[in-house]
Structure 1
């Protein structure tokens, strides 16, 4: 792990507890990006075939990494863009369940299109209440973040599987931006119909890359109207036969951005997602116990069996500034301070944090 940490220059100057804002860039990725741009400089349009291969390889790698069919992978520049394109193909008369204070790019696209929305507050018994609301309000779509951006609340993924099994016609749309890369994830086994992810956080890929994954279930429910020459693979004959995944790729895509995503997926595979998952789950439990002892967590987080690696502590501006003055990089979110741990954070980082908090 020390060798891996040396890949991240930012870790040498601070205790980095801010992956929920931005996953730090690392040395080997920068080397790859510089080589890519040098090739573009020297070869110009001759790189086109290599660009197409990079994009195809990225789709294939995403499919392997998250267990999804390659032809059901859309490369999008971020979750927000993919979500807005997707919703253009859904009847606004549908009944939609959303979670209170979920990430704005999950909730706002539904609200701006005047869907019939029900907003559910997040409590420790969330899953039980979701089932009740879906039945009572005849919900057609449930859109949610797997991990909540404000406080790291983790929805029970086993519950999501059961929910889909009990409600096969319910469309489940999930944002995995604060989850994918921090924990192992099997899309086909998840019960989720559509998963969207931006790659600049836990996938450590920089800005401008992300993806949407689809099961075969939404094909008949979504009439997405976005299109373009790239969606047809530059073939006029494909205009009227575009698959759903391709409709979210109307224009040319950056081999630098999406090649960076593929490079980082390979990087995470080299470390091993099993190792990353085990490390992060262990760290999450240790951090949670320490913060509970200090009385800094909210009840709906304390009462949960499982939690992510993101925490929001009760802290004011003075405490936030104290953390920053002690080289702990974190963020103010909601009414507190958000801390996020990843595989490059160890016990030494936690001990430093607790020492500062106790002052």
Structure 2
């Protein structure tokens, strides 16, 4: 399996790549597909447009399958940020929204620049308790949050969100799963989310320009959309509106969306999400213990019972340069070096990182 993965991502033979939280790698299979696709549309005009509808339907169906979202609607977009703005525009004005302080800007900004009543819960070792306290006092209509925090990898307890939904069934939960989906199994139909979205360029290794939203049908029916275009229609020029058409007003970027399909098929069919989850969790636990021993993690992260595969290490920007010079690819984010472990990483990558950190 390890040889297969390294052959699929040739760059892993040349460096220790720990920068998936910034951008996933592009597999050889995806690169080959893109070349074939580009050549194909220049030699066969039918591939440009005539098969678009069935290709889009195929991708929607696969997303429903891979994320156990059989009863949900699927919207396909260029990015998570575009999709969330479209959804936020369709929410009731002056609604009460609970956000997390310091969450990813593409989660918070769409709400902050519109007419909502907003309060914030702190992101720390007591994240769930902080949310609970806000729910009791603020009584929000919506909660919007990242499943995994981009800065330090703090992960919300999904069972806690299910309990929130039982206690406050009227609250609609909107999730950014860009740093989460693809790292472990996920069942939308059994989750607490009314809507969840993800860009494809990180943990799916699908390249840029593609994203999707999984939307509960009842949530969708209650929206008041503001964005429409020709592509919002089932048939042009005067057909009925598609249910997710307000999120897809313009033409589809088939090159990017087909790239997402190829990447998802490789992720879920060829590698398998069970194997991916096992590898990520095993390596991340070893990393957590090693980082804790070296006092590289914040107190908030060390005190939590659950964590993701993303870590922010208490080292300087000068140390980042030394890691990059040692062919260890990662990034500097808010006073620390951020690393993330995907299924193409292994214990040798962790050992290399630790040895280099110990030397500098």
TM-score, normalising length from structure 2? 0.96
- Superposed CA offset, 1:3-51 (max 9, x none): 1121112212210000011110011111111111111111235532222
Give the paired residue count: 357
1:5 is matched with 6
Partner in structure 1 of residue 233 of structure 2: 232
Distance 2:253 2:25 in 1: 20
- 1:296 counterpart = 2:301: no
The 2-side partners of 1:312 and 1:290 are apart by 13
Partner Cα distance (1:17, 1:46) in 2 = 37
Q: How does 1:1-359 map to 2 (within 5 A)?
A: 1-45=2-46, 47-69=48-70, 72-239=73-240, 241-243=241-243, 245-269=244-268, 270-359=270-359
Indicate the SS of the match to 1:213: strand
Partners of 1:213 and 1:93 lie apart in 2 by: 24
Indicate conservation of the 8 Å contact 2:72/2:214, yes or no. Answer: no
Whole-Å Cα distance in 2 between the matches of residues 317 and 212 of structure 1?
35
> What secondary structure sits across from 2:198 in the alignment?
strand
Large movers: runs of 4+ above 2 Å: 44-47, 49-53, 233-239
- Matches of 2:266 and 2:29, distance apart in 1: 9
Q: 1:88 to 1:350 in 2, by over 3 A?
A: same
- Give secondary structure in 2 for the equivalent of 1:238: coil
Whether the 8 Å contact between 2:100 and 2:122 is mirrored in structure 1 is yes
Asked if the contact 2:209–2:256 (Cα under 8 Å) also holds between the matched residues in 1, the reply is: yes
Residues 71, 216 of structure 2: 8 Å contact kept:
no
Is the Cα contact below 8 Å between 1:60 and 1:70 reproduced in 2?
no
Matched-pair contact (CA < 8 Å) for 1:92–1:116: no
> Residues 240-269 of structure 1, C-alpha deviation per residue, up to 9 Å, x if partnerless?
x542x2221111102211111111111012
Query: 1:156-201 CA distances to partner (integer Å, 9 max, x unpaired)?
Result: 0111111112111101000000011111111111110010100000
SS, match of residue 60 in structure 2: helix
Deviation (angstroms), 1:350: 0.3
- Structure 2 CA distance, aligned partners of 1:47 and 1:109? 34
Q: 1:236 to 1:69 in 2, by over 3 A?
A: farther
User: Which piece of structure 1 moves more, 283-292 or 245-254?
Assistant: 245-254
CA distance in 1, matches of 2:299, 2:222: 39
Q: Deviations over 1:293-314 (max 9, x none)?
A: 0000001111111111100011
In structure 2, what is the Cα distance between the partners aligned to 1:257 and 1:242?
Answer: 21
Shift of 1:125: 1.6
Residues 294-303 or 48-57, more deviating: 48-57
Q: CA RMSD in A?
A: 1.4
In structure 1, C-alpha distance between the alignment counterparts of 2:265 and 2:46, rounded to whole Å: 27
Unaligned runs of 5+ in 2: none
Q: Structure 1 195/266 Cα, relative in aligned 2: closer, same or farther at 3 Å?
A: same
Give the whole-Å Cα distance in 2 for the aligned partners of 1:92 and 1:10: 48
Residues 153 and 307 of structure 2 are in contact (CA less than 8 Å); yes or no, is this contact kept in structure 1? yes
Distance in structure 2 (CA, Å) of the matches to 1:209 and 1:57: 15
- Residue 317 (structure 1) shift: 1.7
| 1:71–1:256 CA distance, 2 compared to 1 (3 A) | farther
Distance 1:319 1:306 in 2: 27
